[in-house]
Amino acid sequence: MKKVIGIIIATMFISGCGSTLKPKVDHLELVRDGNYNHAEQIIVESVAAEGSNKLLHYLEMGMLAHLQGNYQKSNQLFDQAERISEELYTTSISDIGLESITGASFSSYKGLNFEQTFVGYYKALNYLKLAETQDKFSESDLDRALVEVRRLGNRLTELTTKTGGYQEKTDEDESPIEMMLGFLKEALGASINSDELAYKDDAFAHYLSGMLFEISGDLDAARVEYEKSAHAYENGFAENYKLGKKGAAQVWYDTARVMKIAGGYDEKLRKISKKHLTSKQRKLLKSVNAKSSELVVIQHLGFAPQKKQLNMTLTAEAHSKSLVLTPVPMGTEKEKQDQLHWFKMLYADNDLFTVMKNYASGDLHAVATANVTKRISLGPLWGRAEELGLISALSIPSRVAVSYYPSMEKTFIKSELFINGKLASELYQGNNIARIALQEQLNVANTQIQLALAREITKAILAEKTAAAAGQWGAIAGIGLKALNAATASADTRNWTTLPGAIKFARVTLPPGEHKLVLKTQLSSGRILEQSQVVKTTKHRPKMWHTRTLSRLPKPELTTNTAIAETSKQTSTE
């Protein structure tokens, strides 16, 4: 019997892992090569346009069309994604029932808050590109872009209303006792503060909205969005996602700049200038006028991280009257280490409040010394657990699976913009989508493990009762059901993989005319990627150039995006 149990335990992990296998061909590697047609084929084959993954299908396909420069098709696909998202807003009864038995991976993918933000973000960018690619600038396409940023603004308003947003803190916000409780909470290693991790607003989405309103000539609407962006950066967004202070400083300058051009904001402009602008910015502001020619460069970097699966066993330990959760690392050495670190950080018997921060920043040293088991003491409830059949149900370990994100690796070190052969500006960190994704997962980790445990315990007890009712065939029936339970205990590892991992930006004032732009991006390997573009700026409206930078640039012979193929090149420096 022991041999049979051993085979079942091995089989349950192999079966469970099979439910989250990726396609044999990595579509992201194909995107890095510029082989978009093959990448689309992989998505069509592996992420169906119908069924539980239909939203994810349209998100991925919409991004692939955007990368190919097919902006009209991209928006059609994103429109479909939005319709599906609205349909899925209220979870169906069938999904709830299915999820309670098999797990979230079998229910409909509904998307995350930040993913929904970027649907509107990319639709607005698509319409702007359509406006610019006409023989004459298309005001109708610009109007469509403005419709999208207004919808995006409504979505962000709903989010800030629900979460409280990033509010300016004052000394009166916390009483002395609240401050002391906060200190003790951190010192004693309380659970992760979900409020600190939550995605409450998106400062860069507001900044993009401000730019589009400015391009349209609506300076008052631009000012409002720039102010929202600046306040979000300053009051928590920049700190939460480790963006530094330079991006927020640029946004405050742009707020002051449109105020000066629009006129009528003298008192408010003086306050912003005194509180938020550097002496250099105040000097630049004096020369700003309506005839200034502005260039904005937005760089989308890399890919958002991909969710993976962490497997664990759940057993009952009689001598301690506890349930014991133990990780079972699988995959490459790095994957095994990440899985152990994730378990130690969130589930193990340790009280290291700072472990989460170390993991998110890539510093795993502090995580490594934590315990690798989690005991859930039942104490006086042990007898009740025996009556329910829980203890006997766990005589064979149950498999529990949750999703996790791999630890972060810094690929892109620095980005610099050269204009007409001269260094014009370093690009500032505007958003960190990879960190948003990681922290959103950390935020739901405790809820996720509780649901997974409840689900697998319920299934184990049901299997035990079924076995008891099966008479002489009970042992075989029980083993079979437990193996089936293990095979269906998969975590939900779905997410929008083609989203960029980070966004950088720069803004410079130029004389009207034609300019050659070169964007140089230094990688952690020491290599430098170069992307170039010729733009024509005017005094009538700001010019925007947005580009995608991956760890290698697309191969010209593969990509259908001729703009990338003709204007991008790669050099290597040691």
pTM for this predicted structure: 0.85
The pLDDT of 186-203, averaged and rounded, is 67
**Distance separating alpha carbons of residues 214 and 223, to the nearest angstrom:** 8
Least confident among 66-75, 84-93, 108-117 = 84-93
The pLDDT of 238-256, averaged and rounded, is 95
| Relative orientation angle of helices 139-163 and 203-216, to the nearest 10 degrees | 150
Rg, Å, the chain Cα set = 27
pLDDT digits (tens, 9 = 90+) for 270-292: 999 999 999 999 999 998 887 77
Query: What are the domain boundaries of the chain?
Result: 2-19+308-404+436-487, 162-290, 293-303+409-432+501-574
pLDDT at 7 over 60: no
Q: What is the pLDDT of residue 168?
A: 72
pLDDT digits (tens, 9 = 90+) for 418-456: 999 999 999 999 999 999 999 999 888 888 888 888 888
Reduce the DSSP state of residue 337 to 3 states and report it: helix
- Band (pLDDT 50/70/90 cuts) for residue 21 is very low
**Using an 8 Å Cβ cutoff, are 521 and 529 in contact?**
yes
**Distance separating alpha carbons of residues 35 and 246, to the nearest angstrom:** 35
**Using an 8 Å Cβ cutoff, are 437 and 495 in contact?**
yes
User: Hey, what are 439's tokens?
Assistant: 């922290």
Q: What is the pLDDT of residue 101?
A: 52
Mean pLDDT, the chain, whole residue set: 82
pLDDT at 174 over 50: yes
The pLDDT of 26-52, averaged and rounded, is 93
Q: Which residues lie below 8 Å from residue 189, measured CB to CB, with a gap of 6+?
A: 350, 351, 352, 353
Instruction: Give phi and psi for 394, each to the nearest 5.
Output: -95, 20
**Distance separating alpha carbons of residues 421 and 117, to the nearest angstrom:** 36
The more confidently predicted of residues 480 and 40 is: 40
Considering the four listed CATH numbers 2.170.120.30, 2.60.40.1120, 3.40.50.300, 3.30.230.10, the one that applies to the domain covering 293-303+409-432+501-574 is 2.60.40.1120
Please state, in angstroms and as integers, the Cα–Cα distance from residue 553 to each residue in 24, 346, 556, 567, following that order.
22, 37, 9, 11
